[in-house]
Structure 1
């Protein structure tokens, strides 16, 4: 997207998507609370599902002849950007390292990374089955 195509409408679309994704992540955090010494399953869940959804989204958008120019920014940057969270992942990983379970912290940090990368691959594969091979 060219710099001159960025305007208030696009920024509003990204912001609206971010609100939706962030509210969803907040709800998951309420449903799956944790203490600093426990695995933050809510953050793990949103990051892994967000990774899978990003894989599907990329294939879906690339399968379209002329996707709306705001579709990927709204869903990818806004909704999935608000849904997933690197900052919480980093802080919660640090909390686990600092607690009495540094091995649990290491498992969480590495496990989230590996499972997230795997989830992107699963999402791309699912997207290709649904929408055809990427161009």
Structure 2
């Protein structure tokens, strides 16, 4: 093991202080600021769409949370299509994936609500239904993303012929 080099700075001397100076911090913010902004905007749009779905298709108290299940499955299907398009077909702008993939679809799909729904079903004495829902959601989500990506790849390949 070698002795540490006193000229190499691994960590800031004070928390929150970049020893490389304000110019480096500014470049970092200029690079990451737009990404953070588009993720926030996309997340707000996706969460608003999810909220709208819950208002259009409300779930009765103690009822099966079909809306959340379908929102998660549809969101996963859309991410399957989107990722094929931006990786195999289209050279997207650097902010498209963070905006739509992370922001919109991350805000639209709702695995936290899924967890709350499972908890409500189990606490409401519907343990079997809760466990079924616990298993059905990830299965539906994985099947949706796989099927959508597979179909999209085949359509793209067919169209290129």
Q: Structures share a fold, TM > 0.5?
A: yes
Q: Which has the higher contact order (CA 8 A, sep 6+)?
A: 1
Alignment of 1:51 with 2:111, yes or no, is no
Write the distance in 2 (CA, Å) between the matches of 1:89 and 1:41: 10
Per-residue CA shift, 1:59-111, capped at 9, x if unaligned? Answer: 11111463211111111100000000111000101111111211111111111
**RMSD after superposition:** 2.0
Partner Cα distance (1:21, 1:54) in 2 = 13
Structure (1 or 2) with the greater helix fraction: 1
- Shift of the alpha carbon at 1:125? 1.1
Q: What's 2:57 paired with? A: 32
Deviation at 1:5, TM superposition (A): 7.3
Instruction: Choose the corresponding residue for 2:95, options 70, 75, 99.
Output: 70
Is 1:80 the equivalent of 2:132? no
- Structure 1: gaps of 5 or more residues: none
Q: Using structure 1 for the length normalisation, give the TM-score.
A: 0.87
Equivalent-residue separation in structure 2 for 1:85 and 1:6 (angstroms) = 28
Corresponding position of 1:116: 141
CA distance in 1, matches of 2:156, 2:36: 28
Structure index of larger Rg = 2
Q: Distance in 2 between matches of 1:73 and 1:34?
A: 31
Matched, 1:125 2:150: yes
Residues paired across the two proteins, number: 131
Structure 1 residues 125 and 20, CA, compared in 2 at 3 Å: closer, same or farther? same
User: Is residue 119 of structure 2 the alignment partner of residue 94 of structure 1?
Assistant: yes
